[in-house]
Amino acid sequence: MGEQIHYRACNLCEAICGLEIRVRDGRIVSIRGDAHDPLSRGHICPKAVALQDLHEDPDRLRRPQKRIGERWVELGWDEALDEVAERLAAIRRAHGGNAIGVYMGNPSVHNWGIMTHSGAFLGPLKTRSRFSATSVDQLPHQLVSYWLYGHQLLLPVPDIDRSRHILMLGANPMASNGSLWTVPDFRNRLREMQARGGKLVLIDPRRTETAEVADEHHFIRPGADAALLLALLQVLFAENLVRPGRLADFSDGLDEVGRLVAPFTPERASAVTGIAAGEIRRLARELAAADAAAVYGRMGVSTQAHGTLCQWAIAMLNLVTGNLDREGGMMFPQPAMDLIQGPGSKPGHYAAWRSRVRGLPEFGGELPVAALAEEILAPGEGQIRALVTIAGNPVLSTPNGRQLERALGALDFMVAVDCYRNETTRFADFILPPTGALEHDHYDLIFHHFATRNSARYNAPLFAPPEGALHDWQIFVALGRRLRARLRPDAGQPLLRRLTARLKDELMLRLSPQRLLDQGLKRGPYGRRAAERLSLRALRAAPHGRDLGPLRAALPRRLCTANRRIAALNDALREELARYDTVLAEQQVRAPRAGELWLIGRRHVRSNNSWMHNAQRLVKGKPRHQLFMHPDDLAARGLHDGQRVRVRSRVGAIDVEVQASDAIMRGVVSLPHGWGHARPGVQQRIASRHPGASANDLTDERCLDALSGNAALNGVAVQVEAAPDDTSRHAAAVSSQSSSSPEFVA
Ligand SMILES: Nc1nc2c(c(=O)[nH]1)N[C@H]1C(S)=C(S)[C@@H](COP(=O)(O)OP(=O)(O)OC[C@H]3O[C@@H](n4cnc5c(=O)[nH]c(N)nc54)[C@H](O)[C@@H]3O)O[C@H]1N2
Ligand SMILES: Nc1nc2c(c(=O)[nH]1)N[C@H]1C(S)=C(S)[C@@H](COP(=O)(O)OP(=O)(O)OC[C@H]3O[C@@H](n4cnc5c(=O)[nH]c(N)nc54)[C@H](O)[C@@H]3O)O[C@H]1N2
Ligand code: SF4
Ligand SMILES: [Mo]
């Protein structure tokens, strides 16, 4: 058999790079960037080769697993699916729908079959106990988009290819390759912008890989971005630099925004951010003066105590400078399969119900995952007794992972749809493993909504799935059928309603992702246009993908609000602004207490959340899970570079190696999440040899963005001291010196 070349979009991160994969005799021989991909232009990162490692990984599960005590046995699909459906149905009958919790993890949005068909399984459960990685990530973005533009997925992205100025906060695209901004080849796109005379200004408590290529970098105290962003707005209004232009025709409340931000002066912001008031004024003036500018903030500003306020202020900065929906500013992509304007669109809803124990608001049908453990542990009506996880590892990804472990241990039943037995799925009674990514076809349903250039590509599978294997979507259909047979979810409804409901069900169970895609493409904006006539067939004929051009102005047409206008404010935001004024007045955004440091996260281009440390090619070399700490903070504690330290927070303690770094702000320490593989029962042999410690054994389930319930994973107060088992040469000297308290220094 000769060599075959496959073209495929990488599904590992949001950059969705086009790959050229060569296969000989059924084995991958190379993975390269596809130079003809209209979006990624040949860009690739070191993780792409992990697609092969994942495909071949002997630890990847290929048949259903059942846990009997401490032992795992393999069983057939029918047997496994029957038993899972039976157990879930029994729990639902005995305790009601909300007794079954659901957690969906990050790869769900990178796997289109999960997107199209998880409802076939989760629908009949009829549970409000739904959670996902959204609430440890981008929830504030979605909430703000829902409020302002009427749809949770209507998110603008920097139009970097035509921009002249980007103000970026709490994002590190040089490591992450972009997020809620599909921007493959970021480095070269930035170079091109800089060559046009454009400028990137970065705000981050660490001088990151992105800071190295930025034109300007400012340290900021973790969790203080809202003060900075509101001060930028204040300057624009105070200095008469507000120029919304045509946006004013369909925006309401901008004058009130001006009044409400008036108290947030650069001087107040300076006190909490550590950035000089004069610098803040200059940043605002430069933003206003740029021909085309974009303000963009990501993880670092979403997962903090006022994440929604931050995202709102960012949206306002783009709006009042006239940069929203402007070429080179923040623009709305137009995907070929449009989940915003297409049929079945889910705009979102907020606080339609609240979590049982803490009263946290739902958003779009999901509760904040910081409440998952307590919803399992606290007895009472509606207590979660069974859990379904789909493509998620919340033990390593959500705050206070140790508490969640205790909760998982207390469940009556757990099932995981997942390809590994990892820190979370080891608690399951059943693990149902889907086919691997290269064994199914791929269309990116989500990330074209956030892509810096419009394009579309569909890729056929590289390999036939093993005999009898099921794709994620087929697992959902199979479970859905079994649940419906056992639960008759519509019993009690009138006959006609029942029949139409079943017909709809049946249709959904029969429609494949491919059929849905084909219909979506044909009905979508490029399917109807003569120039493109997009359909599944058209995409099959274009293996490198179809270029659909640069981003185009979309407002007010694409607004989903009832009156097709942008409402800059609502009562929840007004209250939050008032609350934040008090927070600043009472100095609640303050320097750490004696000896405390602020913990923030970190990403590395060779790692991806928690689940790719079982690829030897990615974990080889120097470990990448150290705690970064400023040399002055080390010295103040009598600690030294390379030593093992104990990091403590309100919720727990971990031991890690510390690395001195003057790229981190004084008073701040940084640790990547997704490590901590030394837990018993994990079957990831390579990862277990590179365990690291879990940052989320330190993050606090009580630290939230109050408006959205998003976890405040950044800016967690910790203490750092020598680890008790540290045997390095300085260890003995440490304990007597560790009480000195560093001042917070910007
Ligand atoms: N402290 C701290 N915590 C964080 C973050 C942080 O920056 N700091 N980041 C947060 C963010 S942004 C995110 S998105 C979350 C991620 O949190 P999660 O989504 O909970 O965790 P992942 O590590 O992505 O785990 C993915 C799981 O999906 C499985 N999987 C992979 N592909 C497939 C597939 O195709 N089908 C199925 N069924 N399973 C699959 C893997 O085996 C793994 O178990 O972590 C969050 N946690
Ligand atoms: N290589 C790699 N790529 C990834 C992932 C991965 O794990 N590895 N994960 C993917 C996922 S799920 C996501 S959501 C994206 C995330 O994509 P990004 O948001 O671009 O990635 P992060 O590295 O988390 O960047 C957050 C930045 O915020 C900074 N920060 C922390 N606290 C604060 C603060 O209080 N204020 C400010 N201004 N900055 C702060 C951190 O120092 C960090 O540089 O990356 C995706 N891509
Ligand atoms: S940046 Fe790397 S992991 Fe992300 S899509 Fe591109 S090749 Fe895949
Ligand atoms: Mo994420």
Span from the CA of 595 to the centroid of ligand 1 (angstroms): 32
Q: Which atom of ligand 2 is nearest to the CA of 602?
A: 23
Q: Could you give the residue range(s) of every CATH 3.40.228.10 domain in the chain?
A: 156-331+570-579
- What does the pLDDT read at residue 207? 98
Sign of torsion over alpha carbons 632, 635, 637, 642: positive
State the residue for tokens 């998952």: 372
**Residues in contact with 389: Cβ distance below 8 Å, sequence separation at least 6, in sequence order:** 102, 103, 104, 105, 414, 415, 416, 417, 418, 424, 425, 428
pLDDT value at 745 more than 60: no
CA angle 299, 302, 306 (to 5 degrees): 150
Q: For 88-113, how does the pLDDT look when each residue is reduced to its tens digit (9 = 90+)? A: 999 999 999 999 999 999 999 999 99
Q: Which fold has domain 65-136+340-427+471-533?
A: Rossmann fold (3.40.50)
User: Ligand 3: distance of its center to the CA of 47 in Å?
Assistant: 6
Specify the domain boundaries for CATH 2.40.40.20 within the chain.
591-745
23: DSSP letter: E
Whose atoms come closest to the Cα of 208: which ligand?
Answer: 2
**H or E, element range at 582:** helix 571-585
Contact between residue 657 and residue 623 where contact means Cβ atoms under 8 Å apart: yes
User: Among 418, 424, 438, which is best to mutate for testing ligand 1, by the most ligand atoms less than 8 A from CB?
Assistant: 418
Q: Which atom of ligand 1 is nearest to the CA of 138?
A: 12
pTM of the predicted model, to two decimals? 0.96
The reported pLDDT for the residue numbered 739 is 30
Mutational pocket test of ligand 2: of 306, 600, 744, the residue with most ligand atoms within 8 Å of the beta carbon: 600
In whole angstroms, give the CA distance from residue 599 to residue 592: 11
Least confident span in 544-553, 580-589, 623-632, 683-692: 580-589
- 505 pLDDT tier (thresholds 50, 70, 90): confident
Which of 393, 422, 656, 671 gets mutated to test ligand 1 (max ligand atoms within 8 A of its CB)? 393
368 lines ligand 1 (CB under 6 A): no
Ligand 2 atom closest to Cα of residue 203: 38
d(CA 277, CA 283): 10
Q: For 498-504, what is the mean pLDDT?
A: 82
Lowest mean pLDDT of 37-51, 219-233, 519-533, 723-737, name the range: 723-737
Bridge partners, residue 330, by sequence: 158, 324
CATH of domain 591-745: 2.40.40.20
Binding site membership of 603 for ligand 2 (Cβ less than 6 Å): yes
- Ligand showing the shortest atom-to-Cα distance for residue 171: 2
The verdict on the CB of residue 137 being under 6 Å from ligand 2 is yes
273 lines ligand 2 (CB under 6 A): no
Angle between helices 266-273 and 277-289 (to 10 degrees): 120
Q: pLDDT tens-digit profile of 161-195?
A: 999 999 999 999 999 999 999 999 999 999 999 99
Mean pLDDT is lowest, of 175-179, 231-235, 306-310, 531-535, for 531-535
Kind plus residue range of the DSSP H or E element containing 354: strand 350-354
The answer to whether 599 and 605 have CB atoms below 8 angstroms apart is: no
* pLDDT tens-digit readout, 227-268: 999 999 999 999 999 999 999 999 999 999 999 999 999 999
Q: Which element (helix H / strand E) includes 234?
A: helix 225-238
Preceding omega of 399 cis (within 30 degrees of 0): no
Distance 11 CA to ligand 3 centre (A): 7
Q: What angle do CA 22, 420, 607 make, to 5 degrees?
A: 60
In the prediction, which pLDDT does 737 show? 32
Q: Which of 2, 7, 92, 75 is nearest to 44 (CA)?
A: 7
Judge residue 223's burial from the number of C-beta atoms within 10 Å of its C-beta, 0-12 exposed, 13-18 middle, 19 or more buried. Answer: buried
Task: Note the CATH architecture for domain 156-331+570-579.
Answer: 3-Layer(aba) Sandwich (3.40)
Q: What is the mean pLDDT of the chain?
A: 94
CATH 3.40.50.740 domain extents, the chain: 65-136+340-427+471-533
Alpha helices for 123-169 (secondary structure H): 139-149
pLDDT the model gives residue 506: 81
Looking at the predicted structure, is the pLDDT value of residue 733 above 50?
no
- Integer-rounded Cα Rg, in Å, for the chain is 25
User: Measuring CA to CA, how many Å separate 435 from each of 13, 281, 467, 718?
Assistant: 19, 54, 11, 41
Residue 725: pLDDT band (50, 70, 90) is confident
Angle at 447 between CA 444 and CA 453, to 5 degrees: 105
Cα–Cα distance for residue pair 435/98, rounded to 1 Å: 29
